[in-house]
Amino acid sequence: MAPKVNVPMDFGRHLIGSPTHSNLKLNTSEGGEVRASSVILSFNSPVIDHMTTTLHMTSVDMLEFSKPAVQLLVDAAYSGTAEGITRDIFRDINKIANVFEVSWLAEKCAEYFNEVADSVKTPSYTELLYLFEEAGFVFENLKTKDYLNITFKKIAMLRWKQEFIEKYLENADRLSTQKLDMVIELAGSEVNCIVQTLTNQLSVLLKVQGPSLPVSSEYLLDNLDLSLCLASNSALFNRLFSSLQVLPNENIRWAFELVLKSTSNLSSPTLPRCKSLPNMYHQINLNVTFDQFMYWLSVSEDVTSLMMAFDALGTWAHNNYILESKYLTNANGSVFASKLTEMVQQRGWSLLPSEFADQKVSIVMAALNLSPFCSTSNEKSPYVVINCIEKCKKPLSLLSKEAKLKFHFKHPSVTTCTLPGDCGFILKTVPSEATLWTLRLCTEKEDYLGETVHFHDEIRVEK
């Protein structure tokens, strides 16, 4: 093993090609040959170090690489610089650096690729194609998506997805499935970029060349989430399948299954119409001691957030004081606050929104200040605060009878709304025996007649 030397290092360019020092022969493509010092290359590459020091090799076959790229490896190892990287040899020198584990040279190649990407200021198919192809080569051979991510980001930043995909798929039948997968990944949720291109191509191709579906088109349609197209542009979706109507009988079943898959995928992300919103704590044993309750709270898989922990506390305290005539003291409240602080850190719960900072949770004979459990106004909270229109100082008395609670809430997916009143929803309390009340989300139009809020009954969740 070569002694530890910090590379890159300038060993001297004047040593390059020296007959005395060049004891290692590197065989390149097309019968080329480059000679170098095995010691200097070993300092830079642990792979070459193993070949020469352990295996005693005096010749290394690098037949898949061009002679200029191998010469650049030698120049870089001797000089400690990566000068001379060009687009023509980038692919080879980058693979050489990674295969032979010349880590500092691999970093220089990554820097070069970033510089090329940064230099593309305006949409240019030639420039973006170079990035796309090189990134694809790196992914295929080195199994890293770093270069692809840079390329996708550049194309998206230039807002040129549709144009690039349309031009790239002009010769789709010559593309490997890996390249087609890259196109799908580039499109992301904007599947219409691909669907539009395929629809235009197939509407002409199937008429000119006959009802024979290109393999590339079938692969893309099989692997695209067409439900996104159906949801965002049903007219385009219909145009696509109208163009497929001329397919022979053996392909019609495939097209039919494609429609079924698209519609089933469309319905799955839609929130179902809720019947009731049960209180999960009705199902647990509330007749436990304070210490037992706190232990359960710290390990329960049902309690997944700080908000739910406070809900559990309120339910437990109500059961033990009002129903069982037990007392919860201020001492219990301070212990709860201390243990809950530890629990938040242990379970990684997010803090409550800053709007709760001036609120208190009544635990009968103790009032727990929520301020220590709230984020600052500048911190991003995972919670959405929805203000209830109705005000009630005695929620337990409200929940003991049937009542409506109206909320103002506009879902982010609702961009435009022309319905009268404000976007929101109504929860209806449904009391039953003892305190086992439930809430029902009102989803029927009749529930909102004469009300100041209206309900959007289908809201899609983002994937």
Q: What is the pLDDT along the chain (463 residues), one digit of tens a residue?
A: 555 788 999 999 889 988 888 999 999 998 999 999 999 999 999 999 999 999 999 999 999 999 999 999 999 999 999 999 999 999 999 999 999 999 999 999 999 999 999 999 999 999 999 999 999 999 999 999 999 999 999 999 998 999 999 999 999 999 999 999 999 999 998 999 999 999 999 988 888 888 889 999 999 999 999 988 888 888 899 999 988 988 888 788 888 889 888 887 654 444 344 444 445 555 566 677 777 777 777 777 777 788 788 777 777 776 665 444 444 554 456 677 777 888 888 777 888 777 677 666 555 445 567 777 777 765 555 555 555 444 444 444 545 566 777 777 776 667 778 788 888 888 877 665 544 456 677 877 777 888 888 887 655 444 3
CA–CA distance, 10 with 223 (Å, rounded to integer): 51
Cα dihedral 248/253/257/258 (nearest 10): -10
Q: What is the pLDDT of residue 197?
A: 95
pLDDT of residue 332: 56
> How many whole angstroms separate alpha carbon 66 and alpha carbon 107?
21
End-to-end CA distance of the chain: 51
What is the pLDDT at residue 359?
65
- Closest alpha carbon to 425 in 413, 439, 412, 442: 442
For residue 228, the Cα-to-chain-centroid distance in whole angstroms is 17
**Tokens encoding 416:** 């435009």
Of the candidates 13, 25, 10, 26, which has an alpha carbon nearest to the alpha carbon of residue 104? Answer: 10
In this predicted structure, what is the pLDDT of residue 384? 52
The pLDDT of residue 393 is: 42
Among 179, 268, 199, 180, CA closest to 228: 268
pLDDT at 400: 54
Q: How far apart are CA 259 and CA 237, in angstroms?
A: 10
**pTM over the 0.75 mark:** no
CA quadruple 279, 284, 286, 289: dihedral sign: negative
Q: Which long-range contacts (CB under 8 A, 24 or more apart) does 340-348 make?
A: 340/306, 340/309, 340/373, 341/372, 341/373, 343/297, 343/298, 343/309, 344/306, 344/373, 346/298, 347/298
